[in-house]
Amino acid sequence: MLKEIDITWILFAGILSLLFLVSIVGQIFKQMVSNEKMSAMVKVFNERVGLWWAMCGVFTVAAFTGGLGSIIVFGLTSFLLLREFITITPTRKGDHHTLFWVFFIILPLQYFFLLRDWYGMFIILIPVYAFLFIPLRIAITGETHGFMERTAKIQWALMICIYCISHAPALLKVDFPGEPKMGLRLLLFLCLIVQTNDITQRVFSYVHRNNGAKLVAGLVVSTILGASLWWATPFSILQSAAMAALIVFMGTAGNFCYAAMVQDRNKPGVVVVQTRQNVTERVISLCFAAPVFFHIARYYFTNRPPIAF
Amino acid sequence: MKDLNELVSRVLCWGSRTIAGVTARWIDCEPSTRQRIYFANHSSHLDILILWSSLPVEIRKVTRPVAAGDYWLKSKVRRFLVNKIFNAIVVQRPTKGGHLRDAVKAINDTLSGMGENYSLIIFPEGTRGDGYEMANFKGGIYSLAKAKPGIEFVPVFLENLNRILPKGELLPVPLISSISFGKPFKLEEDENKKDFLKRARQSIINLQNI
């Protein structure tokens, strides 16, 4: 029987060698491909592979710093995401003070509660306290034009960019009895499946025009990968496949919502600030998948009292 | 002392660009050290800092912003910034209904600060707007064009800075902004003041939609 620590390292080694292989394939394709459509596909592919390498770097750091490193990295991602999200969301001058609170008080607080293992506050800070505070802060400024819309926009930004994505590093804090590294492995599982689904859908959309085919391809590839990783998770093979399918479903939901958002913004007459990084596009699927995966893993695979991580 | 100023200037450039997440775009406009007048919309105290720090360093060295004395000479830090870092030309804003000679003096100070080599950064609206719509341009830009025939005017559109630090606020919110440099143009030979001001203002508006 393999020891707990060994499983984590095997998973790491497996992912790294897979990534290495995929990168080589990507580079070979880059040399071989000559027609335009295919080279666009290879470019998207290689971009995503680059993102994977960055992710692996983050996880390696996280593994050596006992979670602190990855909480900081996810906090930083939250910040970049929020910044981009608010930039492309029209807010008014009266929202300035509210936004200051969002960036410098609420965001750090959420990750502080996570760091201090304070599950109750982590779970209700944004849906309860921030939710009630944001409209109050906007009302105090006295600028009432579009009050409801502005409140909703900022609350949505809080939920997606801080609350949802913070559930990914929260996996590190879940106490799986007898398996201290399980949280890290589940976080890896989550990110791996989300990314596999995204990359498969993207690459496949160059191969086949049909939207349904793209979705099915993403689902099949990710579910197979998920099932084959059952040994690193607390799930059985079937459960593992089902969890992967769930992640795919949520990730795809995120991509749909992002597409709707972009379409809404691209109306004529709406000026969009050019953003360089496209953070939102890259992590929205993770934002949608993380909280659902977190809760299901936590409720059904631990026997903790409901108020502890 | 000179090294210290250089260091402060580098740190300031890097810091302000990071906080404001600036992307600089040069559209139909080659960066060049030749004498030019950069003019931009004005909605935030960050404007002058961001425009200045977005210029490539060799251009920045020969570019002087025109700063209003009533604001920039008020405190030690501001004086240090305009004199030692920006190397700004400080002029007194002519007051409304004030003497014509105040305006003439402001223009003459600017022209002598420019000399034959320095480029300028100006904000022709004269003061910060609310960020929603640009105010009409004051006549100063036309006087400069008249006094320096053949000089190139570069329109600059600063986007989103009013959301990062709006008028009347002290604390910035870290959003992403962009700065666009547009196609340079010159004063036409038979162009009158009204047409020139209108054309200059329109050139910035055109940059919003690219």
Angle formed by the axes of helices A182-207 and A36-65, to 10°? Answer: 180
Q: Which strands form B152-159's sheet, in the order they lie side by side?
A: B22-26, B177-181, B152-159, B36-40, B119-122, B63-68, B89-91
pLDDT of the residue at B38: 95
Output the domain CATH number for residue B122. Answer: 3.40.1130.10
Contacts of A275 in chain B (CB under 8 A): 21, 23, 176
Higher pLDDT pick, B131 / B104: B104
Residue A278 scores a pLDDT above 60: yes
**Which ipTM score applies to this complex?**
0.73
CB contact under 8 A, A273 and B177: yes
CB-neighbour burial class of residue B8 (10 A; exposed 0-12, middle 13-18, buried 19+) = middle
Q: Which single residue is written with the structure tokens 């095997």? A: A10
What's the domain count of chain B? Answer: 1
Would the pLDDT of B98 be above 70?
no
The percentage of residues in chain A with a pLDDT greater than 70, rounded to a whole number, is 92
- Given an 8 Å threshold on Cβ–Cβ distance, is A93 in contact with B160? no
Contacts of A79 in chain B (CB under 8 A): 174
pLDDT tens readout for residues A90-125 = 788 788 899 999 999 999 999 999 999 898 999 999
Torsion angle in degrees (nearest 10) through CA of A180, A182, A187, A189:
160
Whole-angstrom Cα distance, residue B193 to residue B142?
6
Rounded CA-CA distance A254/A287 in Å is: 7
Structural domain that includes position A167: 67-173
- Give a yes or no: residue A118 inside a domain: yes
Whether the Cβ atoms of residue B137 and residue B200 lie closer than 8 Å to each other: yes
Picking from A244, A136, A229, the residue whose alpha carbon sits closest to that of residue A185 is A229
Q: Which domain holds residue B174?
A: 2-208
What phi and psi, each to the nearest 5 degrees, are found at residue A148? Answer: -65, -45
Count of domains forming chain A: 1
pLDDT tens digits, A179-228: 878 888 898 899 889 988 988 888 888 777 778 888 999 999 999 999 99
Q: Which residue of A has its CA nearest to B159?
A: A273
The answer to whether position A198 is within a domain reads: no
Tens-place pLDDT, residues B192-206: 999 999 999 999 999
Task: Using an 8 Å CB-CB cutoff, list residues of chain A that contact chain B.
Answer: 79, 83-84, 86-87, 91, 93, 96, 99-100, 103, 271, 273-276
Residue A138 placed within a domain:
yes
pLDDT in tens, A239-275: 999 999 999 999 999 999 998 988 887 765 555 555 5
Q: Could you tell me if residue A225 is inside a domain?
A: no
Residues 6+ apart with CB under 8 A from B143: B107
Q: What is the number of CB-based contacts under 8 A between chain A and chain B?
A: 46
B54-96 pLDDT tens trace:
998 889 999 999 998 888 888 999 999 999 899 999 998 877 7
Listed in order, strand segments (DSSP E) in B48-132 are 63-68, 89-91, 119-122
A271 → closest Cβ in B175, B177, B209: B209
In sequence order, the 6+-apart residues with CB closer than 8 A to the CB of A250 are A285, A288, A289, A292, A293
